[in-house]
Amino acid sequence: MIIYRHTAINVYDGFDDSKLSSDWSTERMESSSYEFQSAIVRKGRSAIKITLRTGDIPEAQTAKDKATERDELQEDMSLYAVEGSSYEYRFSMFLPDSFPITKTRLVIAQWKQFCSHCACTDYSPILALRYVSGKLFITIQTNQAVKRDTIYQQQEEIRGRWLDFRFQVRFSKQKEGEVIAFLNDKEIVNYHGITSYPDDCLWLSTKNKYYFKMGLYRDKMPEPIWIYIDEYQKKEIEISK
């Protein structure tokens, strides 16, 4: 029997060290895909640069999905969000001027439901930050049988400048779920409703867990791409119900 002991979460990473913090898992990225550099920095001495090359952490094409590849920082299991609690995530991202504009699916940050024994391991992310065809948008999906909803979209050029994101999130199978998002201190999402997939196997049904990843996840393509990330913070908060 697995027993989870919950403690309040408050972590920060400015990516100023020469190695990754223990707050991160690298199981979803190649060891050669990231570097600490000081040429493009949001704050402090350095930021992390993630480069996705063809064939990195591949997943084969299926009847329902195209072949994919990724290099993503995934939070350590000790930091997974718990259903019904509220969390604030902050992180800054920089896409270079040369970043390609294509129709290829690209996810740069996502929140997924943790499933140890259930089918939802392969489900689409509940919440995702995407960049496709030069558009930045945010999607939410809580049922695999229903198309995901776009809850924010903008066509303004975002390359060549830092984007400061802040997300306040409460995951719930009920309508008390919440997503409030800010971009450069401007509110862009105020969503209230279901923010979890159904608990199909009734495993830890009252305390489902959810994890965060950021970096580069795309349909397979030959061209390498890279992104800079800095000033990450996650903390447990209180938001009104």
- Reference 48, options 39, 57, 56; nearest CA is 39
Residue 219 has φ and ψ, to the nearest 5°, of -65, 145
What is the per-residue pLDDT for 203? 52
Q: What is the pTM of this model?
A: 0.92
What is the per-residue pLDDT for 119? 63
Residue 226 has φ and ψ, to the nearest 5°, of -145, 160
At residue 29, the 3 state secondary structure works out as coil
Query: Residues with Cβ < 8 Å from 95, sequence gap 6 or more?
Result: 131, 158, 159, 160, 163, 227, 228
What is the per-residue pLDDT for 202? 56
The fraction of the chain above a pLDDT of 70, given in percent, is: 90
Per-residue pLDDT tens digits for 158-198 = 999 999 999 999 999 989 999 999 999 999 999 999 999 88
Token pair for 179: 């997503």
Distances from the Cα of 173 to the Cα of 39, 99, 117, 238, angstroms: 43, 37, 18, 18
- The string of DSSP letters for 77-103 reads GGG-EETT-EEEEEEEEE--TT----S
| Residue 97 near residue 160 (C-beta atoms within 8 A) | yes
What is the per-residue pLDDT for 3? 40
Go through the domains of the chain in sequence order and give each one's CATH number.
10-82+93-161+209-230 (2.60.120.200)
Per-residue pLDDT tens digits for 101-159 = 999 999 999 999 997 666 666 789 999 999 999 999 999 999 888 899 999 999 999 99
Distances from the Cα of 24 to the Cα of 12, 21, 79, 127, 128, angstroms: 11, 6, 9, 19, 19
- The DSSP 8-state label assigned to residue 143 in this structure reads -
| Residue 176 near residue 92 (C-beta atoms within 8 A) | no
Per-residue pLDDT tens digits for 9-44 = 999 999 999 899 999 999 999 999 999 999 999 999
Residue 241 exposed, middle or buried by CB count within 10 Å (0-12, 13-18, 19+) = exposed
Distances from the Cα of 158 to the Cα of 95, 135, 198, angstroms: 7, 8, 35
Reported as a pLDDT band with limits 50, 70 and 90, residue 1 is very low
